[in-house]
Amino acid sequence: MNEFLPQRDVDLTSLNTLGFSVCAHRYVAIRSARELSSYFKAYPDEDCFVLGGGSNLVLTRDIDATVLHMQSRGVAVYEETDTHVVVGVQAGEIWHDFVMASVARGWFGLENLALIPGTVGACPVQNIGAYGVEIKDALHKVKAWDRLTQSWVWFDNAQCEFSYRDSVFKHAFLDEACTQSRYVISKVFFKLLKDKTQWQPKIGYGDVATRVADLAAGGEVTAVHVAQAIIEIRSTKLPDPKVLGNTGSFFKNPIVDAALAAQLKTTHPNAPMYPQPDGTVKIAAGWLIEQAGFKGLRDGAVGVYEKQALVLVHHGGGTGAELMALAQRISAAVFTQFGVRISPEPMVI
Ligand SMILES: Cc1cc2nc3c(=O)[nH]c(=O)nc-3n(C[C@H](O)[C@H](O)[C@H](O)COP(=O)(O)OP(=O)(O)OC[C@H]3O[C@@H](n4cnc5c(N)ncnc54)[C@H](O)[C@@H]3O)c2cc1C
């Protein structure tokens, strides 16, 4: 019997957080590393699309390639000293559940990344980040199947080539349409701090410090307090995808050269700008979109979230093509008004 007999015409509406109704012509659930390598050994030339939690994807059409849905589970400690722990996590684990389990065990390093949707296997792909922390700060190494060489490969932190919402995994494809990822991540290893005396909570962002102080109520601040504060703050700022379809921030914050930043500062002194170590300047995309007049706009079944202009939403009954048309309208307006190009964060199929 073929253990990988694909399911046909699987509805992906509940498997993408925008809630677009598209279908996978062929769908296979991958439940372990062994299944992953066996699949590619059995079908080395098959067109495949790797799906995690579907929270960073815009699906504009049915998927012809076989959708490999990563559902492998398991968390194991590989190394433990008095100060650190190295923990290996299967790609299909739910990211937020792993964060909460690790802070509950007294491990530090992931607390600021609580409540980000999706799977562990996808977290290195765009170097997920929030509240002053990126996954590159805690990632030890990655195990992936290389579809080009048909073998397991390892990436240490430097080899992942992390930068803002970017990594080597976001650029390695087998096809020109960029749907066939060369590397399929099977396991991610994190190096987390155990020794609380070495821990410096990162709470300087927005109102995190105030909320953490409330939660700690005069006692010792723990990673659980930080995670809890971030969960509460995020819940007030971002729409719950179960209620209103979205992918979190839709646009990346653009990084411009110093000359353009200086020019913008003279015309728009209030523009939020963040100088980078290499002399470039990061600008808040949400501010640009809000200034261009799109915050809260509704365009048929899609729109811009009323509380945060960086978030595009799907009200139901719409399509990925409609969302992308709105995204292009927004980018063009921002470019016309500010001379700054903004680009989408999610993968567009
Ligand atoms: C409400 C909301 C809030 C969000 N907040 C944040 C935030 O604060 N910070 C942030 O960085 N992101 C945020 N995101 C985006 C998203 O949650 C992350 O990018 C997440 O890591 C995507 O995981 P996923 O499993 O859903 O990936 P998917 O959407 O399924 O896939 C995304 C991409 O990764 C590839 N991929 C998935 N799994 C693997 C694998 N095992 N191996 C190789 N490639 C793989 C897919 O092919 C696709 O190209 C948010 C999204 C939502 C809906």
255-259 contacts, C-beta under 8 A, 24 or more apart: 255/164, 255/280, 255/281, 255/282, 255/283, 256/280, 256/281, 256/283, 256/340, 257/281
Identify whether the C-beta of residue 185 lies closer than 8 Å to the C-beta of residue 164.
Answer: no
* pLDDT at position 2 over 80: no
Q: In CATH, what number does 7-70 get?
A: 3.30.43.10
Residue 117 to residue 125: CA distance in whole angstroms? 14
Predicted pLDDT at 333: 98
Residue 37 to residue 151: CA distance in whole angstroms? 8
Residue ranges lining ligand 1, Cβ < 6 Å: 17, 50-57, 70, 91, 116-119, 121-123, 125-126, 128-130, 169, 181, 184-185, 238, 241, 246-248, 347
Question: E strand or H helix at 297, and its extent?
Answer: none
Catalytic residues: 165, 249, 345
State the architecture of 75-237 in CATH terms.
2-Layer Sandwich (3.30)
Q: What is the pLDDT of residues 5-14, one digit of tens each?
A: 899 999 999 9
Predicted pLDDT at 179: 81
Predicted pLDDT at 180: 87
* pLDDT at position 4 over 80: no
Ligand 1 geometric centre to CA of 56 (Å) = 4
**181-196 mean pLDDT:** 96
Ligand 1 geometric centre to CA of 116 (Å) = 8
Tokens of 226: 């930080």
The ranges assigned to domains in the chain are 7-70, 75-237, 245-348
Predicted pLDDT at 166: 94
* pLDDT at position 40 over 50: yes
Q: To the nearest 5 percent, what fractions of the chain are helix, strand and coil?
A: 30, 30, 45
According to DSSP, the residues that pair with 303 across neighbouring strands are 298, 313
Q: What is the pLDDT of residues 128-164, one digit of tens each?
A: 999 999 999 999 999 999 999 999 999 999 999 999 9
* pLDDT at position 305 over 60: yes
Q: Which atom of ligand 1 is nearest to the CA of 113?
A: 8
Identify whether the C-beta of residue 77 lies closer than 8 Å to the C-beta of residue 87.
Answer: yes
* pLDDT at position 1 over 70: no
Q: What is the pLDDT of residues 100-121, one digit of tens each?
A: 999 999 999 999 999 999 999 9
Predicted pLDDT at 236: 92
**279-298 mean pLDDT:** 96
* pLDDT at position 242 over 70: yes
Residue 257 to residue 242: CA distance in whole angstroms? 39
Which of the four CATH numbers 3.90.78.10, 3.40.50.720, 3.40.50.2020, 3.40.50.300 does domain 245-348 have?
A: 3.90.78.10
Residue 193 to residue 93: CA distance in whole angstroms? 21
Q: What is the pLDDT of residues 251-282, one digit of tens each?
A: 999 999 999 999 999 999 999 999 999 999 99
Tokens of 141: 């190494």
Ligand 1 geometric centre to CA of 216 (Å) = 31
What DSSP string runs through 134-200?
EGGGTEEEEEEEETTTTEEEEEETGGGT-BTTB-GGGT-BSSTTS-SBSEEEEEEEEEEE--GGG--
**Ligand 1 mutation target, pool 12, 125, 146, 168, most atoms within 8 A of CB:** 125
